[in-house]
Amino acid sequence: MEFVPIFANPNETPFRGLYAVRYEDMPEGENSWSQFIDKLSDAEFRRSFIQARHANLLVKGYFGTYTVSEASNRVLDEFLDITDELADAYQNGIQELILLLNERFKPLDNQVVSEELMRSKAKPMNPKEPWVRLYAVKVSPDLYIFSGGTIKLTQYIDQDEATKHEKAKVDRLRQCLINEGMYDRDAYTELEL
């Protein structure tokens, strides 16, 4: 397992900002962030994802009725909004990024207020009920490790295979960090990238 700086200074210790995880079983040069970016920026992926769920979830579904094209455009807009917002915050300085990370990332389980290596989810600010989700483990208030992201078209995470898969990925990351004894920010001071 490796950590790849996304919105972070890899020369700063202890680590602060947003990092992606790269497992040994991932293709060379890929990490959780690059896979997320490749997936949601791909119009063909968005359309096939939405077409597979259109009849069940986007025709009088939880979020209303959408055509495949409308839904694909909405996902693209949300994806660009949140990734641009993260990039802009980082360009304005690490403190602004950390404020944004803490504002956007909330506990994955709404019943859990605080836990060691908290599983977290983030979504764009707009629209009121956005579909794009980012998942990460919150190591500390200034360090998040990104596990992946997807399109959430259901009310609950366990109602669709895509969100269940992302939940499994954030659970895997959390368990790997626990197994490595990386419970808090101090454990990341001696790592080399």
Q: How far is CA 69 from the centre of its chain?
A: 24
Q: Which of 119, 114, 98, 130 is nearest to 178 (CA)?
A: 119
pLDDT-derived band at 193, boundaries 50, 70, 90 = very low
Lowest pLDDT segment from 6-20, 66-80, 84-98, 100-114:
100-114
Provide the token pair at 1: 């397992």
Q: Mind listing the pLDDT tens digit for each residue in 141-191?
A: 999 999 999 999 888 899 999 999 999 999 999 999 988 887 666 666 555
Pairing of strands 17-22, 106-107: unpaired
The secondary element (H helix, E strand) that includes residue 7 is: strand 2-7
* CB-neighbour burial class of residue 73 (10 A; exposed 0-12, middle 13-18, buried 19+): middle
* Residue whose structure tokens are 């109602």: 159
Whole-prediction pTM: 0.91
* CB-neighbour burial class of residue 191 (10 A; exposed 0-12, middle 13-18, buried 19+): middle
> CA-to-CA distance for 127 and 117, rounded, in angstroms?
29
pLDDT-derived band at 113, boundaries 50, 70, 90 = low
Q: Mind listing the pLDDT tens digit for each residue in 5-29?
A: 999 998 887 789 999 999 999 999 9
